[in-house]
Amino acid sequence: MVQRFLVLLLAIGLSNPYPVFAQDAPRLVVPDYGAVSPSPDAANQPDPAINYRVVFGITKAASEPDQPNPSLVKVARFLNLLATRNIQPVKGNIVAIVHGSATSLVMTDAAYREKYQVANPNLPLIAALNSAGAQVHVCSQALHGQDVATDAVASGVTVDLSAMTTLATLQLQGFAVISD
């Protein structure tokens, strides 16, 4: 009897296209950033039939240099929201393009420490985003404007010609844009 019950539970679990998560513990692909609250009855849930291609324009600096950039955390939250419906975007289909006053978030720890006297709190987040399949890019025009040398850009960050060309190119390729 117990064996039949376990087989039934396994069959139900395997046939459900939307995995059941504990109400307070969704599966997170960026577990240390971008916490989400399950809302299974809310409208506009992530759709597994959609090929999510999204570019985030990140222009605002964190209010404190010892805190991760909130707009970069938003990228992690987006990935975690998709994960609540077992959606894993294709690697490179989630892009963050950093420019404006946010530019320093991509600096190596040494360069960031020199500028702010604290460790760069964004580096673990950038690594976690990369591990989850997202890409972090920075505008070379913003690097120049913010007086950040390209050799001061952390590993895991791609230097693009400009945020404008990245945003235009990705939009023309069908990416949705989310701004901060």
Residue 11 pLDDT: 45
Confirm whether 46 is domain-assigned: no
Answer for the pair 79, 95: CB distance below 8 angstroms, yes or no: no
pLDDT score of 93: 98
Does residue 124 form part of some domain? yes
Please state, in angstroms and rounded to a whole number, the distance separating the CA atoms of residues 173 and 114: 38
What mean pLDDT comes out for the span 136-151?
97
In the numeric block, which tokens belong to residue 114?
């020199």
Q: Is the pLDDT of residue 105 over 90?
A: yes
Residue 41 lies in a domain: no
- Residue 175 has what pLDDT? 98
Q: What whole-number percentage of the chain has pLDDT above 90?
A: 82
CA 55, CA 74: separation in Å to the nearest integer?
A: 12
Question: Binning pLDDT at 50, 70 and 90, where does residue 6 land?
Answer: very low
* Residue-level pLDDT at 12: 43
Is there a domain that residue 76 lies in?
yes
pLDDT on residue 5: 42
CA distance linking residue 68 with residue 61, whole number of Å: 9
User: How many domains are there within the chain?
Assistant: 1
Q: What is the pLDDT of residues 29-88, one digit of tens each?
A: 999 999 999 899 999 999 999 999 999 999 999 999 999 999 999 999 999 999 999 999
CATH number at residue 138: 3.40.1260.10
CA 155 – CA 10 distance, rounded (Å):
43
Residue 128 structural domain: 24-32+51-179
Do 79 and 30 meet the contact criterion of CB atoms below 8 Å apart?
yes
Asked, for residue 108, whether it belongs to a domain, the answer is yes
More confident residue, 13 or 122: 122
The total number of residues written for the chain in this structure: 180
Residue 27 has what pLDDT? Answer: 79
Closest residue by Cα to residue 86 from 11, 39, 27? 27
Mean pLDDT of the chain: 89
Contact status, residue 66 vs residue 121, Cβ threshold 8 Å: yes
Alpha-carbon dihedral sign for residues 35, 40, 42, 47 = positive
End-to-end CA distance of the chain: 55
Is residue 121, in this structure, part of any structural domain at all?
Answer: yes
Residue 25 binned pLDDT confidence (cut-offs 50, 70, 90): low
Calculate ∠ Cα 156-159-164, nearest 5°.
130
Domain-located, residue 42: no
Is 97 among the domain residues?
yes
> Is 50 exceeded by the pLDDT of residue 22?
no
